[in-house]
Structure formats: structure tokens, C-alpha cells
Amino acid sequence: MFEKHIFICNNERDPFANRDSCGSEGNQIRVELARLIHEYGVRGKVRANKCGCLDACELGPVVVIYPQNIWYGNVKTEDAEEIFKQSIQQNQIVQRLLIKPDDWENRK
């Protein structure tokens, strides 16, 4: 069993869809998190998975960390290392990326 499980939305929508897509950026974020997991020797304890839509398209790309139930939005590939070091290694929250209740309420 994994101590932490990271889900990264990589849902790819049609370019003409009425909602945003996490797609290619989500894939890049997952690759970077997987690289960090391997580099820091926590493979088998932490897993980074791509996933489909997390119903937060307007807040994406979205990264979710369980079991802490941390939801990050508008994540960029360059944020992956900060997320890894803060949330995976130190059990801290990257406040600037955290999806807050108001963000959920105000999404389209």
C-alpha cells in the first residue's frame, strides 16, 4: 500500500469544448512528479498517477494528493518540485496552489 497517492488530471478535451483541458500540461506534471519519486527513492511508498477528469476543469491542471485530500489547481510543470518537497516530503500545503472552497463555488 502506498503512503501517498498523487492523481494528476490529464483529461484532453476537444479544442472547441466549452471547458478547459488539463491534458498535455497534466502529462508533463505527472512525468516530473514520477521523476522526483524515483530520484528521492520513494518509489513503492508514493505513486503519481494520471487520471481522467476531476470535474475541476476551470481550476486545472489539477493535482490531488491522498490520503491528505489536498487539491491543487492551476498547477504548472515547474510547480511539481515544490509540491513534491512540501506536500510529499514535509506534509505541508503549498498555499498558493491550494483550491479553496470559494474556488469550487465560483467555477463555471
Residue 31's nearest CA partner among 65, 73, 78 is 78
Please identify which residue in the block is written with the cell numbers 513503492: 44
Domains by residue range for the chain, with CATH: 4-106 (3.40.30.10)
Q: What is the mean pLDDT of residues 73-102?
A: 96
Rounded to two decimals, what is the model's pTM? 0.90
Distance between terminal CA atoms of the chain? 36
20: pLDDT confidence band, cut at 50, 70 and 90?
low
